[in-house]
Structure 1
Amino acid sequence: MNGNDLPLWQLGSAYVFIIVLLIIVRIRKIPREKEILIATIRMTIQLMIIGYILAYIFGHANPLFTILILIFMLVFAIYNIYRRVNDPLDRELKKKIALSMSIGVVGTLAYFVLVTLSVSPWYNPRFVIPIGGMIIGNTMTGVSLGVNTLLDGMRTKRKMVESALMLGATPKEAARPIINQAFDSAMLPTINSMVGMGIVFLPGMMTGQIIAGASPLSAIRYQIAIMLGVVGGASLTVLLFVQIGYKAFFNERCQLKERLK
């Protein structure tokens, strides 16, 4: 490999792994060929498009462009959470998901960019957009798990919650075990990722920096900071969601709703 650029023919050689995967699923008669092909094509097209967009934005730094890109990513992440949830969501719960994501992501990203990295100017797209994407992506995964666990717990443990309410507990006290379980389930993948980082695998951002010629020690410092930011963003957002999300399951009389429409 000469330099830091990857020639197209070498990039094309990586698609051999997709061909091998297609052969495996065909031999094992697993009906996934179409999904694998669509996923591969979408990934390639989407990344090529975003590559050209980012190249333009990096060359024409503008706060409006940076903010619009971040808003687009955040809205798309919220939409993906709605799609990933196994049960129907009512309007109130959707609003709480959107509110939690917005406050958690914006607060974490602002602190990380202005305080931890001291980016100047604050809208520098070369820093803000990639870091924002990592925070939004990991937060989206955490909130998705939290929503699913909360919905499942409120459904399967309905009698336990109703019994606690009958004994005089408030909705928050009655739902506390479910809320704690939802938070724990949402954060577990991120915690597991931290445990294996550096020994089991090298994170993508750190690997990219090293390949691009950065010092491993410098890449490690950035990776530690970003991982802490990701953990902070996910934990704050999930915590905010579970603390306000459970209210969507109760009516104004502090009774469990029959079902979410």
Structure 2
Amino acid sequence: MGQVLDSVFKAKNPVLVMLMTFTLIFLSSCETVYNKSDWSLGGMKKELTFPSVFLSTAFSTILIGVLGTRFAMNEHHFWRPELFIPTVGLLLGITAGGMAVGISSCLTKVGQQSDQIETYLSFGASRWEAGKTVAIEAIRVAMLPTINQMSVIGLITIPGAMSGQILGGGSIMNAVRYQQIITFMVSATTSLGVLSVVYYCIHHLIDTKHRLRPERVHQYKANVFRDIKFLFVGVYSELFQRQEDLVDENTPLIR
């Protein structure tokens, strides 16, 4: 990582910065899905956990990273590698854990409260009304470490970003301001990521016809080889089915 970052920092190319950013997001998503989550979301021919986590991580990290470095840190060239890449790394380090807790909590609660959810649905509740209690509890559990950390930063503990700048001989007040910005950026990124991934879970567990789909929840770690297999099978099935539909459309009804 040090050798790669050294080359990227020296190049000062925004394309390389974005490529490095997406690489970090991809690795963070892999860590969240394949190492930290004991539950998986998917169907017979597709795996939904990794796409939902990757999209949620990319959206929250890039949005908050750009807004924070451009406006909160007041950097016109926010894409500078020595600023943007370490900031993204700090955001991903905490967001990955929160999203893993959110996924596991959401999928576990759906299994435990399936009778309650089905009762709500049978009485005419929408899927968002039926899954509201599950979503609130999953978001609360996932955000609890971040909220607890915010309550002690600067009063009880001196966090890493602030300590690093102080030990490096930087101004204490600048280190404090930088840590405040990073803390709020981490909280915003984690909340957006957790909200997005919980939304994906509820969206796929309760379909558009307001039916609970517990068969889409699997109590095993996601596997990269299984995901690759699902990807190729899904693409092949889609192409094969499309060819069959074209043949059926071109076949005359009366010969």
TM-score normalised by structure 2 residue count: 0.79
Q: Corresponding residue for 2:221? A: none
Matches within 5 A, 1:49-198: 50-83=1-34, 84-90=36-42, 91-198=47-154
**SS of the counterpart of 2:30?**
helix
Q: How many aligned positions are there?
A: 212
Shift of 1:161: 0.5
AA aligned to 1:67 is M
* Preserved CA contact (<8 Å) 2:165 2:175: yes
Matches within 5 A, 1:193-232: 193-232=149-188
| Unaligned ranges ≥5, structure 2 | 219-255
Shift of 1:197: 1.2
Where relative contact order (Cα < 8 A, 6+ residues apart) is larger, the structure is 2
**SS of the counterpart of 2:41?**
coil
* Preserved CA contact (<8 Å) 1:119 1:127: no
Rounded to whole Å, the distance in 1 between the matches of 2:59 and 2:40 is 24
Post-superposition Cα deviations, 1:128-185, rounded to whole Å, max 9, x if no partner, equal 0000111122211111111011011001111110111111111110110000011111
Rounded to whole Å, the distance in 2 between the matches of 1:118 and 1:199 is 26
Distance change (3 Å), C-alpha of 1:258 and 1:153: closer
Rounded to whole Å, the distance in 2 between the matches of 1:199 and 1:246 is 38
Q: Corresponding residue for 1:244? A: 200
Shift of 1:60: 2.2
**SS of the counterpart of 1:213?**
coil
* Preserved CA contact (<8 Å) 2:70 2:77: no
Distance change (3 Å), C-alpha of 1:193 and 1:258: closer
AA aligned to 2:94 is N
Rounded to whole Å, the distance in 2 between the matches of 1:213 and 1:199 is 21
Shift of 1:121: 2.3
State the superposition RMSD in angstroms: 1.5
Distance change (3 Å), C-alpha of 1:92 and 1:79: same
> More displaced, 112-121 or 150-159?
112-121
**SS of the counterpart of 1:259?**
helix
> More displaced, 235-244 or 75-84?
235-244
* Preserved CA contact (<8 Å) 2:65 2:88: yes
Rounded to whole Å, the distance in 1 between the matches of 2:144 and 2:63 is 22
Shift of 1:93: 3.9
**SS of the counterpart of 2:155?**
coil
Rounded to whole Å, the distance in 2 between the matches of 1:212 and 1:92 is 44
* Preserved CA contact (<8 Å) 1:97 1:245: no
| Unaligned ranges ≥5, structure 1 | 1-49
